[in-house]
Every structure is written in C-alpha cells, then in structure tokens.
Structure 1
Amino acid sequence: MWIGVRQRFRRFHEELRLSADQIDDGLGKQLGVRKSLHRAYYDETTETPRGFIVGSWGKETAIAPPSDVDIFFELPTAVYHRIETYQGNKQSALLQEVRGHLLTTYPQSSIRGDGQVVIVGFNSVAIEVVPAFRYDNNGRFYMPDTNDGGRWKLVDPQAEIAFLEAADRNSNGNARAMAQMLKTWKRECNVPLKSYQIELLVAEFMTSYENRYYDYYWYDWFMRDFFAWLCTKAWANLTIPGTFELVNLGNDWLSKAQTARDRALTACSHEYNDYTILAGEEWQKIFGNRIPIHVL
C-alpha cells in the first residue's frame, strides 16, 4: 500500500526549490538595492551594506519561480527624528524618500511605495524593501505603515525566522517543506492567507503533530491532517513571534481549506489503495500540476 506517496511528494518538493540561477539572481539584486541605500544614507560605498533578508527567503520557504525578495534596511536614527518633524503621513513621506534614492540608481525600473514597503520591480524578481529603525538591541525594529494615516509598527523579523527554524528542527526538516507546499496551494487556489500566516500556522501545527518526524512517505497524511486542523482555526488569533502582536485569521479562506481537506481525504483513500493516478488527480486539484500524477 501507499506505493506512490514517497516518490510523489519528494518530486513535488524538488519541483518547488529555487534553482541556483534564481538564487544568484535574487541575492545579487537585493544586495545591489542595499548598496544603493547604504550609499544614500551612510555616505559610503561598501560590499557589506546595512540590512538583511527576511520573508520567505530569510525563512528558506521561497518557492520557484520566486516573485520577490523581502529585505529590511536599517536607517540611521537621525532620519527617524527628521521624519518625525514632518506634518501629515510621515511614514508615506519616508517611503517616497527611499523610492527617490533608489530611482537614482535604477532609473529604468518601476519603483513604488506600497503600504509598508518600497517595491523595486526588476524584470526577473522584485525586491521589497522595508526601511526600518532599530528599536532595541534584541532585534526589534520600527517599520513604517502608511495605512489609516500612518504609524510606526514594532516588528521582530529575526524572531519570526527563529520560530520557524525551531519548528523545522523539531520536525526533522518537515516544517519548511510543508510551508513551501502549502504556499503552492495558496497560489494555485487563490487562498486569501498571507505567506507569513501559512508559515506560522505550519510551525504551530508541526510543533505538536504526532507524525512530524517521518519522511515523504507520510506526506499524504501530513496534508490531510493539516487541512483538517486548519479548518478549526477560523477567527483564531496568530501570535507574532517577538512582538506578541495578535493577528486574527478571519474566515475568508475557510471554504477553500474545507475543499482542500475533502480532496486530501479522497486522495489519501486512493493512495491507500494504490490508485496512484486517481490520487495524483486529486492532489493536483489542491496543488496544481507541480505535484505529479504519474509516479511509478
């Protein structure tokens, strides 16, 4: 029984991994953006500019093809005090200032401020820049949020990375793989959950999941059990690591989770009976054609 599961999910996971060229491209572009801002705000040229990678690249959960690389860029404290003297939406003013500096380096690129980030729209992959001010020496920062008149938002990106890393270590490397696969479900089925929410949900689930140490042979059950668990999380709060901010999940995504749960149940039944093609067809309804139908 279950003769196709291990091969199916191993190939699926391999299909999602970034290629060496994609990694080099993303790393090179984010480094160039950080160098540009370092010159603008610190008046020096360096190969080791301020800032660091966050988001899915920082957590090692990015999937191919990559859409963006998220980075934090630490600004001098003096910039914060200067921006605080402005009238109106100070955070929007900061994003526009950062955008202006980047346009000097990348005049042919589409660059725009959007809510909390400045997006540099390169052809192959976008770089999303969070201009941030160090709040303390424990890894927390203030970042701009232009919504609702503007505010400074306290964040701890390294704590979010560490939270997923701990869950991954505690699950034999399965938490990151699960997050990557579930991000593919998000893309394929237009699920209204944010990537960081999926990562936090996976980390929470895998921390106590009884089968978390097993390999790809168990991934049909991983998916079945995760979707069933996810369906119980409507209107639940997620706690953001480091700042302990509560984010409510709402339930806009619930019907898609219920559909995925039901399809996973059907797929698991087919896998049990070694109806590998029928199982593959069900999995593709969840994850699209990146998970194979034919595995033997």
Structure 2
Amino acid sequence: MWAGVRQRFRRFHEVLNLSKDQIDDGLVKQLGVRKSLHRAYYGDSTDEPLGFIVGSWGKGTAVAPPSDVDIFFELPVDVYHRIQTYQGNKQSALLQEVRGHLLSTYSQTNMRGDGQVVIVGFNTITVEVVPAFRYDANGRFYMPDTNDGGRWKLVDPQAEIAYIDAADRNSSGNVRPMAQMLKTWKRHCNVPLKSYQIELLVAEFMQNYLYRHHDHFYYDWFIRDFLAWLCNKAWANLTIPGTLALINLGDAWLSRAQTAHDRAIRACDDEYNDYTISAGEEWQKIFGHHIPIQVL
C-alpha cells in the first residue's frame, strides 16, 4: 500500500525548489538595487549595503520559477522627518522618491510605486523594494502604505522569518516544503489567500500535527489534513509575529479549499490502493503539472 506516495511528493518538492541559477540571479539583482539606494541615501558605495531579503526568499519558502524577490531597505531617520513635512499622501511621495533614485541607475527598467513597495521590473525577476524606517532596536520598522490616503505600517519582518524557522524545526523540516506546495495550489487554482497567510497557516497547523515528524511518505495525509483544518478557518484571525497585528482571513478562498480537500480525500484513497495514476490525476487537479502523475 501507498507505493507511490514518497516518490511522488519527493519529486514534487524537488521541482519546487529554486535552481542555483535562479538563486544567483535573484541575489545579484537585489544586491544591485540595495547598492543603488545606499549610494543615494548614504552617499557612499559599498559591497555590503544596508537592507535585507524578506518575504518568501527570506523565509525559505520561495517556489520555482520565482516571480520576485522582496527586500527591505532602511532609510535614514532624517528622511522620515522630511517626508512628514509633506502635504498629501506622504507614503506615496516616499515611494516616488525611491523610484526616482533607482531610475538614475536603472533608466531602462520598468519601475513603479505600488501600494507598499517600489517594483523594479527586471527581465528575469522583479525586485520589490520596501523603503523602511527603523522603529526600535527590536527589529521593528515603519513601512509606507499608500492606500486610503496613506499611513505608516508597523512591521517586524525578522520575527516572521524566525516564526517560520521555529515551526519548521519543530516539525522536522516539513513546514517549508508544505508551504511551497500549498503556494503552488494557490497559484494553480487562483486561491485568494496571500503567500504570507499560507506560510503562517501552515506553521500554525504543523506545530501540533500528529504526523509532523514524518517524511514524504506522509505528505498525502499532510495535504488532506491541512485542507480539512483550513476549511474551518473561515473568518478566523491570523496573528502577525512581532507586531501581533490581526489579519482576518475572510472566506473568499473557502470554496476552493473545500474542493481541494475533496480531491485530496480521493487522491489519498487511491494512494492507499496503489492506484498511482488515478491518484496523480487527482493531485494534479490541486497542484498542476508540477506534481507527477506517474511515479513507478
């Protein structure tokens, strides 16, 4: 029984990991952006500019092929005080200022300010820049949010990374692969959950999951049981690590989660009976072509 599960999910996981070329490309692009902003705001050139990688790259949950890499860039506090003297949407003004500095380096690159970030659209990968001001010595920052007239949003990106890291260690390294797989479901089925929400949900689920210390042989149950658990999270609040802000999940994603759960039940039954091709067909309805149909 279950002859194909370990091989199927191991191969699925391998396909989702970034290649060396993808990693190198993203690292080079984000470093160049940070160097450009360091020159603009601190007046010197350095191979070790301020700023750091956040988002899925920072958490180790990026999925191939990567669409973007997210970075924080810490600005001098005097820039915050200057921007605060502006009339109107101060946060939008900051994004446009950062965009202008980057255009001096990347004049042929498509670039725009968008909500909370400056998007630098390189041909191979997008770099999304969060210009931020240090709030305290504990790693919290103010970042701009241009929506609804503009505001400063308190965030703690390192606490989010640490939370995922701790959950992953507590689950024998299974949180990150699960997050990658479920973000593939999000992409394939157009699930209206954000990537960071999926990461936090997976971490929450896996921390007390009975089988969390097992390997790929249990991943069919991992997926089935997570989706069952997720279906009970409609309108629940997520607590953001570090700031303890509450984000309500709503229920726009619920019907897709219920459909995926039904398919996962059928796939698990087929795996149990070693109907490996039938199981693979059901898994592909959830994850697309990244998960193999034939495994034996």
TM over 0.5: yes
CA distance in 2: counterparts of 1:228 and 1:71, whole angstroms = 34
Deviations 1:163-215 (A, max 9, x none): 00000000000000000000000000000000000000000000110100000
Hey, what does 1:46 align to over in structure 2?
Answer: 46
Alignment of 1:219-230 (within 5 A): 219-230=219-230
Q: Secondary structure at the match of 2:220?
A: helix
Measured in 2, the distance between the counterparts of 1:181 and 1:55 equals 16
Give matches, 1:2-17, under 5 Å: 2-17=2-17
Structure 2 match to 1:63: 63
For residues 138-157 of structure 1, the C-alpha deviation after alignment (integer angstroms, 9 at most, x for no partner) is 00000000000000000000
Residue 141 of structure 2 aligns with which residue? 141
Q: Where do residues 1-296 of structure 1 align in structure 2 (5 Å cutoff)?
A: 1-296=1-296
Q: Secondary structure at the match of 1:113?
A: strand
Shift of 1:288: 0.1
Separation of aligned partners in 2, 1:273 and 1:21: 40
Give, as a single letter, the amino acid of the residue that structure 2 aligns with 1:80: Y
CA drift of 1:260 comes to 0.3
Shift of 1:267: 0.1
Partners of 2:244 and 2:117 in 1: CA distance:
22
Poorly superposed stretches of 4+, deviation over 3 Å = none
Residue 66 of structure 1 and its aligned partner are, at CA, apart by 0.3
- Secondary structure at 1:198 match in 2: helix
User: Which whole-Å CA distance do the structure 2 matches of 1:244 and 1:30 have between them?
Assistant: 28
| Alpha-carbon distance in 2 for matches of 1:238, 1:184 | 21
Residue aligned with 1:53, SS: strand
How far apart are 1:123 and its partner, in Å?
Answer: 0.6
How far apart, in 1, do the equivalents of 2:237 and 2:63 lie?
Answer: 26
Residues in 2 aligned to 1:161 and 1:79: alpha-carbon distance in whole angstroms = 27
The residue matched to 2:10 in structure 1 has which SS?
Answer: helix
Shift of the alpha carbon at 1:120?
0.1
Q: What are the Cα deviations for residues 41-64 of structure 1, in whole angstroms up to 9, with x where unaligned?
A: 000000000000000000000011
Structure 1 segments unaligned to the other structure (5+ residues): none
Q: Provide the rounded CA distance (Å) in 1 between the counterparts of 2:114 and 2:209.
A: 37
Question: How many residues are treated as equivalent by the alignment?
Answer: 296
Give the distance between the partners of 1:198 and 1:88, measured in 2 at CA: 35
Cα distance in 2 for partners of 1:223, 1:65 equals: 22
User: How far apart, in 1, do the equivalents of 2:276 and 2:118 lie?
Assistant: 46
| Matched letter for residue 164 of structure 2 | L
1:66-99 Cα distance to aligned partner (Å, 9 max, x none): 0000000000000000000000000000000000
Q: Deviations over 1:229-286 (max 9, x none)?
A: 0000000000000000000000000000000000000000000000000000000000
Write the distance in 2 (CA, Å) between the matches of 1:237 and 1:123: 37
Aligned residue identity for 2:11: R
CA RMSD of aligned residues (A): 0.3
Secondary structure of the 1:218 match is helix
Distance 1:247 1:25 in 2: 33
**TM-score by structure 1 length?**
1.00
CA distance in 2, matches of 1:13, 1:156: 29
Structure 2: gaps spanning 5 or more residues: none
Amino acid in structure 1 at the alignment position of 2:221: W
The alpha carbon displacement at 1:218 in A equals 0.2
Task: Give the match's secondary structure for 1:12.
Answer: helix
TM-score (norm 2): 1.00
SS at match of 1:152: strand
Q: Distance in 2 between matches of 1:180 and 1:98?
A: 31
